[in-house]
């Protein structure tokens, strides 16, 4: 028997929001995103949500996001993430997810975050959670700026390819490993391990879980890290069991609406 691992999707599985939603706001504030980008990105995100599980839609979303980020300074992105991480991410970590991650680590399993968001966002979130291993989208970089090319897009079957490579490198027994996700687009990831569970699943994924008798978990308690430590144990993982996320578009659109509301002559 090889070692086992636990693979966690990030958005709506570990944190109660999209990481793009969180960081889209400071990206807009610092001038990386324009008003024109708001409209285009909102449309791209809508198209992904309506048909995001097919390869063509994922490819279009990947290419659009690569073009959107082209020319951004990598160090500026990292600085924005570092400065806003505790404000925008820490309060939204599900207590149930944090407890489950700790259970896997206590059992001697490596925990890996697997997310379609950019590595510059995902890796610091992993550090916040005590996770050092991440599988995330990697953008091409030339002279310290994003080139507009995607080296690796961590979505759909590509997640499984990366998980397989890591398993071969580390000696993980995937049949004895675990995976968690909220989205039907992660069906390949869930099916590649022996112990899949769905978290806050969308309709398609819930149906798939029922058909395959997979555990269905409902995470409902996002709690900041400091409060979790003071009040441990937070919410028992067992209490969450009811049965056995891309792009910066929504965050950008939300921030644009929020900013217009704040600058209006009278309060909404």
142: alpha, beta or left? (left if phi > 0; alpha if psi -120 to 50): beta
H-helix segments, the chain: 19-29, 35-51, 55-69, 74-88, 95-106, 119-128, 157-170, 187-191, 203-212, 225-231, 237-240, 249-262
| Exposure class string for 27-41: b at 16+ Cβ within 10 A, else e | bbeeebbeeebbeeb
Residues comprising the chain, all counted:
268
The CA-CA-CA angle for residues 77, 12, 111, to 5°, reads 80
Strands 216-217 and 241-243, by their bridges, are antiparallel
- Give me the active site residues, please: 9, 11
The span from the CA of 184 to the CA of 190, in Å, is: 9
DSSP string, 154-169: -STHHHHHHHHHHHHH
Distance CA 50, CA 9 (A): 20
**Closest C-alpha among 202, 205, 251 to residue 65:** 251
Backbone angles phi, psi at 251, to 5 degrees: -60, -40
């Amino acid at each position: 028997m090889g070692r086992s691992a636990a693979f966690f999707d990030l958005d709506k599985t570990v944190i109660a929001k999209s990481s793009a939603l969180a960081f889209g706001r400071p990206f807009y504030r610092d001038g990386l995103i324009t008003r024109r980008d708001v409209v285009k990105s909102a449309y791209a995100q809508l198209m992904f949500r309506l048909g995001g599980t097919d390869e063509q839609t994922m490819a279009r979303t990947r290419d659009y996001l690569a073009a959107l980020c082209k020319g951004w300074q990598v160090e500026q992105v990292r600085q924005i993430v570092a400065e806003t991480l505790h404000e925008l991410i820490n309060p939204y970590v599900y207590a149930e997810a944090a407890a489950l991650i700790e259970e896997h680590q206590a059992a001697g399993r490596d925990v890996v975050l697997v997310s379609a968001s950019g590595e510059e966002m995902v890796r610091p979130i992993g550090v916040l959670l005590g996770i050092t291993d991440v599988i995330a989208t990697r953008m091409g970089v030339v002279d310290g700026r994003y080139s507009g090319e995607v080296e690796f897009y961590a979505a759909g079957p590509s997640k499984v390819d990366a998980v397989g490579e890591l398993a071969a490198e580390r000696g993980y027994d995937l049949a004895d490993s675990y995976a968690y996700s909220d989205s039907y687009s992660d069906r390949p990831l869930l099916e590649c391990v022996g112990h899949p569970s769905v978290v806050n699943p969308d309709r398609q994924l819930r149906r798939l879980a029922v058909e395959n008798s997979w555990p269905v978990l409902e995470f409902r308690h996002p709690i900041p890290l400091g409060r979790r430590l003071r009040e441990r144990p937070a919410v028992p993982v067992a209490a969450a069991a009811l049965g056995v996320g891309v792009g910066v578009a929504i965050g950008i659109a939300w921030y644009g609406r929020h900013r217009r509301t704040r600058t209006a002559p009278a309060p909404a």
